[in-house]
Structure 1
Amino acid sequence: MLEEYFQTKIFERSKRGMLLTADGEEIVEMARSIITILSRAAIKHIKPEGCLNGIIRVGASKIAGEHVLPCIISNFKRNNPSVDFNLEILDLSQIMEKISNGEIDIASYTKPCGVEMLEGEIGIARDELVVITPPGHNLTKREDITLEQILRYPLILYDTGCEVSNLLNEFFRLNGIRVESLKVKMLMPDVSSSIIAVLEGLGLSFCPELLAKKAKRAGVSGHNSCPRCRECNLLNLHIKM
């Protein structure tokens, strides 16, 4: 189920049997970490007979809420059918307000690496921003791509409220790039709409590598050879203690 959901090979056969691939090790470790946190949040709903029962309230950013958590929550519920989830897709300010007010049990979101971790915050998975191009694009034939080459093409970037926009702005700032100088074709509200625009040949874009791998099934090509791409905490979990 994880292989189909994340669109990547998790296991491979060898003389020693089934082994985890490099991608598989990352995804399985991420899934285990999230399930551990979900179990901690569910403990307060434990019944006298020892089974978990109740509702876990989750506030998640768009990437975590749409691309990571659904599959893992589904696996958790398979073993804990009496636990239900209320999952809200929120922006970061809404998430922080709700967890501060005790309105959610767990928060999940993306933010740049190097930013100070908050009390109760746990880094689950790291990723890098990669460049995504339409099928058959000139850059797909190159092994090494420079940032200068990428910026010559029309770009599809993100609205201010999108979490990837914050990561990209930090990436541009660190590389001395003014957004005003770029050939921005359009702004998109999220990664999914950006991927569709790239497929239509409207320009190049950036997204976390995990989502680029999922998009390969649709024909989008992801390149992690761009130097100095911004590493990010793809998935942070913040549990209300």
Structure 2
Amino acid sequence: MQLDLYHVFYVTALEQNFSKAAKKLFITQPSISHSIKQLEERLGIQLFIRTSKGVILTKEGETLLNYITPIFGLIDYAEGKIAELINLESGHVTIGGSDSTCKHFLLPKIQTFQNMYPEIKVKLQHGSTPQIVEKLTNGMIDIGIVHLPINENEINIIEYLSINSTFIVGKKYKALANKTVALEEILNYPIISFSETSSTRRFLEHIFHNQGLIVKPDIEVGSVELLIECAKIGMGIAFVTKEMVLKELSEGELFEVHINELIEERKIGLITKKEIPLSVAANTFFNYLLEK
């Protein structure tokens, strides 16, 4: 009975609406309200605040949700494993990564994999490297593709790809591509980068810090597509993974700016959770990713 109450709370917190939670759980809305009231009385706290559009979590409710999410993630995982035992011809894998890594490194693999295994469903979840690590820890994804290094004791890490970083410009600053530029000279131009929470931004700051310099980007963007467009129209010098702009470089839409410092390669890794084996479907996809 206690687990049922927490399950009702968990689904309601995700749906943020009593009616939607009732429909998902195949019970009535009064049953949802009664279960939430029981749990609130048991814990001695208020879990939700009613609004005109539904409900929102209180601070105490948010704390409870953070603790029980991994539990229900593991329950979902267990149910998935049982389903595979019943029907070996079905299965699914959920993989998480940033928008850019999914687009440039995962989607081509997913397309060919699904041609080979049409019965296996592949689901994608996006997020930054810290968010993907959290999703894996909470049991929301099977496999993560992240920028290395990361320090986590609960996950397995395998180096997957080496990538190169570079500075790029549009036609407005094309003259910079015809010479070798000192790193400090880059600071004389508007700099375009991802937000400060991204691993690419931290790597950019690391490059300048090693030379005793501080970089403060003038323009922050949330996707590689927007970064590319900003560079194209001449808004400044963009810092980006070179493999993601090869097409634009080859077609003369963007130009690479070479600096007088060697930019070290970065690593992209595949991560899985320790002590929890991958499902048959997830393991098949994981091994396929590792094939060269």
TM-score for the superposition, normalised by structure 1: 0.69
Aligned with 1:124 (options 123, 144, 160) = 160
For structure 2, the residue ranges without an aligned partner over 5 or more in a row are: 1-80, 278-292
Structure 2 Cα separation of the partners of residues 138 and 94 of structure 1:
39
Runs of 4+ in 1 over 6 A off after TM superposition: 43-49
Q: 1:45 to 1:228 in 2, by over 3 A?
A: farther
Aligned with 1:192 (options 207, 219, 225) = 225
| 1:138 alignment partner in structure 2 | 175
Find out whether 1:169 has 2:205 as its counterpart. Answer: yes
Within 5 Å, which residues of 2 pair with 1:15-164? Answer: 53-111=90-148, 119-135=155-171, 137-142=174-179, 144-164=180-200
The answer to whether the Cα contact below 8 Å between 1:212 and 1:221 also exists between their aligned partners in 2 is no
Q: 1:85 to 1:140 in 2, by over 3 A?
A: same
Shift of 1:81: 1.1
The answer to whether the Cα contact below 8 Å between 1:130 and 1:226 also exists between their aligned partners in 2 is no
Structure 1 Cα separation of the partners of residues 170 and 129 of structure 2:
30
Find out whether 1:227 has 2:261 as its counterpart. Answer: yes
Greater Rg over alpha carbons, structure: 2
For structure 1, the residue ranges without an aligned partner over 5 or more in a row are: 1-42
State the superposition RMSD in angstroms.
2.9
Structure 2 Cα separation of the partners of residues 148 and 121 of structure 1:
35
| 2:215 alignment partner in structure 1 | 179
Select the structure that is richer in helix.
2
Q: 1:204 to 1:46 in 2, by over 3 A?
A: same
Shift of 1:45: 8.5
Shift of 1:94: 2.3
The answer to whether the Cα contact below 8 Å between 2:132 and 2:144 also exists between their aligned partners in 1 is yes
Q: 1:160 to 1:211 in 2, by over 3 A?
A: same
**Relative contact order, higher structure (CA 8 A, sep 6+):** 1
Structure 2 Cα separation of the partners of residues 175 and 129 of structure 1:
17
Alignment coverage as a number of residue pairs: 192
Q: Deviations over 1:175-205 (max 9, x none)?
A: 221125xxx4321122221110010011111
Letter in 1 for 2:129: L
Select the structure that is richer in strand.
1
Shift of 1:208: 1.0
Shift of 1:80: 1.1
The percentage of aligned residue pairs carrying the same residue is 22
TM-score for the superposition, normalised by structure 2: 0.58
Find out whether 1:201 has 2:234 as its counterpart. Answer: yes
Shift of 1:56: 0.4
The answer to whether the Cα contact below 8 Å between 2:183 and 2:259 also exists between their aligned partners in 1 is no
Structure 1 Cα separation of the partners of residues 207 and 99 of structure 2:
20
Shift of 1:236: 1.1
